[in-house]
Structure formats: structure tokens, C-alpha cells
Amino acid sequence: MKKKKILMAMSGGIDSTVSALLLLEQGYELVGGTFRTFDSIKESCIAKERGCCSIDSIMEARHLAEQLGFEHHILDFREAFKKHVIGDFIHEYMNGRTPNPCVLCNSSIKWGLLLDKADELGCDGIATGHYARVVQRDGHYYLGTAADTMKDQTYFLWRLTEENLSRTIFPLGNLTKPEVRKIAFDHGYVKLSQKTESQEICFIPDNDYRRFLSENVPDFSEIVHPGDFLDREGNKVGQHDGFPFYTIGQRKGLRVAFGTPKYVTAISAKDNTVTLGDRNDLLTTTLRAEGCSFTDAERLREHPQVQARIRYRSAAAEAVVSIDGDSLELRFNEPVWGVTPGQSLVLYQDGLVVGGGLIVG
């Protein structure tokens, strides 16, 4: 039986290249697609545009697709990316929250628009180089954690729907990063196998989100100005540079001295205040999330014990979830540190993503 035709999301990096190699060896017919999602920032800020969607990486992806023998398309998603991803990023910071743009990009751009393009090109589905798996269980499509726990990317993918997952292939889900590097090396991609990975936000390649906000928010200097640092009792203890420049849990760069380390514990965009406290002030056993989605809400109500992640690099913590429509309340078995409004909460059971939402408090 003829293998399916797949739109392969190509970044120019090792993961998508090895994914393409594996799918070709399995007999799939591939079409390559690479996103153009943003324009480079001012040359005065950075000498060379970098990132997963930069001109350099797009050209690398096109060259790799040509080498591998399949057609390649540059997909101009800049308008939608600016509206949905960059717009949300700015909105969240300007309202005192800390966003995670990769989560929104995956659901609205990499799957939303990419699947539309797959249909246009007559493809049955899409494939990406993410470290994750698709698991079918009890009539549902679940997002499953990757074999390489250090590279697992399910935290960024929780917003994918069952329809999305039913049309997605993750060729690297059962491989470790060293295994992926070896596959690239063995296929003659020696330089690519040794390539390091960027950790910056793709549209802020110099990693200076403060500069980015100042250049992209109209009347920024009138909106953002110095305000008061407060202690936990509401007393003024110093002056900050402007509320968008701080995140929950931040300790460095406060430029105030108290004799003991202080951390940002709350941010008020309305009052232009930033509250400081001790590390223990950031411990909590509860949180609320909104804008939630669940693979099987009824089953989750019957079995509410979950493992919850409140940020990408945090370990999953045991908790009990209570669902109310598209909102939830979570109670942790043990205190967790640094719950941050705007970040994603992702719920797991037995290595499967069962739900997620945006933390509001």
C-alpha cells in the first residue's frame, strides 16, 4: 500500500532533517515547508539574523530538501504570526503577565496554518521534529511524552487538538537526542550533527525582550515609567524601572539591597507596582487556570490525580484537579515554587497529556 503524502515542517536544523530522513526511509512521500514568521530586527541591534525562522535557516531548509529530493515551499505566515503570537506576547507583558509564545505559535501557526497548507498541497498530514509522541487510547488521540525526557516538548504542545494529533507524525518521539545526532552523522550530515541549538525566542534573537517591547509598543515611554517596589505589607521599599521589565521569581537585576535575597512575588500593571518578598513567599499549594482544554474531561473528573507542570523546565508535581467548564483549580500534594500568571499549566497521567490551561493565579 502506498505511504501517505506528508508536509514536513523543515527548520534547517538537525531535528527536522533527521525526521525527513526517517520518513523517506519508511516510504513516505514528502513535501517540505518552512515558515517565514517575522522580519529581522534592526541591524544595529544584532549583526546577523538568527532563529528557527530566519532567512538563513529558511535557505538551509530549502537546500536540505533539495538534497533529499523533494519539493520545498516557503510559507509566509508573518501577518498571522504578528497578529496572534507577537500581539499576544506584547499584550501579556503589558498586563503584568509572563507569556509563553511557543505554546501559542504551535497551536495557531505550526498546526493551524500548516494543516491548511497541507490540505492545499494534497497532503494527508504533517510531520515535525518535535520530541513527542501521538498515542491512541480508549478512542482518543493523546499527546505522549518523548523517550528523551530531557528533550520532551509536550509542555509546548498541550493546545493541540485530537484532530491535530490525528494528522501528525513525530518521527523523533522514540529517539534520544544522541541517537538523532548519530543518524545525522551516519547519513553524512557531520556539521549538522554537531550544531548547537538556540534557546532564545525566535523573534527576539538577542534575547532582550525589554528592548523589543520598547520598540514595538506605541507610546511605550508614556505607558511604562518608574514605579514603586513594595514589600509584602504594601510598604514602599524602592523604585523599579517599569512593571513589564520584571517576572515572578526574578531575583537578579532588582538594584535594591535588603541584606537578604528578595524575589518578585507580584506584579500590578494597573498600579505600576512590583512586590518583593522572600523565596518562601513564592511557595503555594494551589493555582487557578483558564482557557483550559481536556482530552477526556469526564475521565479526568473521575480520576483527578495528575502530574502537573507549571513551566517547561520544572518537574511534574503530584496534584488533584477540579474542573469547572474551561477553568480549573489545582491543589498540589506538596508546595510548588514560582507559579507565574501567563505561563502554561500542563496536566499528565501515565505519560500522556490530559489537559492544560493558562495560569491566572
* 76: number of Cβ within 10 Å: 11
CA distance 149 to 316: 12
Q: Determine the 3-state secondary structure of 31 from DSSP.
A: strand
Scanning the structure block, which residue is given the C-alpha cell 482557557? 291
Helix (H, G, I), strand (E, B) or coil at 118: helix
pTM given for the model? 0.92
pLDDT tens digits, 38-61? 875 443 333 334 455 677 888 999
Q: What is the pLDDT of residue 46?
A: 37
Q: Which residues pair with 332 in a beta bridge?
A: 319
Per-residue burial over 335-355, b = 16 or more CB atoms within 10 Å of its CB, e = otherwise: ebebbbbbbbbbbbbebbbbb
Measured in degrees and rounded to the nearest 5, phi and psi for residue 19 equal -60, -45
Separation CA 70–CA 30 (nearest Å) = 6
Contact (Cβ atoms closer than 8 angstroms) between residue 355 and residue 160: no
What is 5-193's CATH topology? Rossmann fold (3.40.50)
Among left, alpha and beta (phi > 0; psi -120 to 50; other), residue 129 is: alpha
**Secondary structure letter of residue 183 according to DSSP:** H
Question: What CATH number was assigned to the domain covering residues 282-359?
Answer: 2.40.30.10
Residues with catalytic roles = 105, 202
| Residues of the chain scoring pLDDT < 50 | 1, 41-50
Do the Cβ atoms of 17 and 10 come closer than 8 Å?
Answer: yes
Residue 344 · residue 358 · CB < 8 Å: yes
Q: How far apart are CA 142 and CA 295, in angstroms?
A: 7
E-only strand ranges, 280-326: 283-294, 305-309, 317-324
200-240 pLDDT, tens digit each = 788 888 889 999 999 999 999 889 999 999 999 999 999 99
pLDDT of residue 313: 86
Task: Tell me the backbone φ, ψ of residue 77, rounded to 5 degrees.
Answer: -110, 20
- In this prediction, residue 40 carries a pLDDT of 55
CATH assignment of 225-277?
Answer: 2.30.30
Q: Which residue is associated with the grid cell 513525530? A: 170
Q: Is residue 273 helix, strand or coil? A: strand
Provide the pLDDT for residue 339.
97
In the chain, where the domains are located: 5-193, 225-277, 282-359
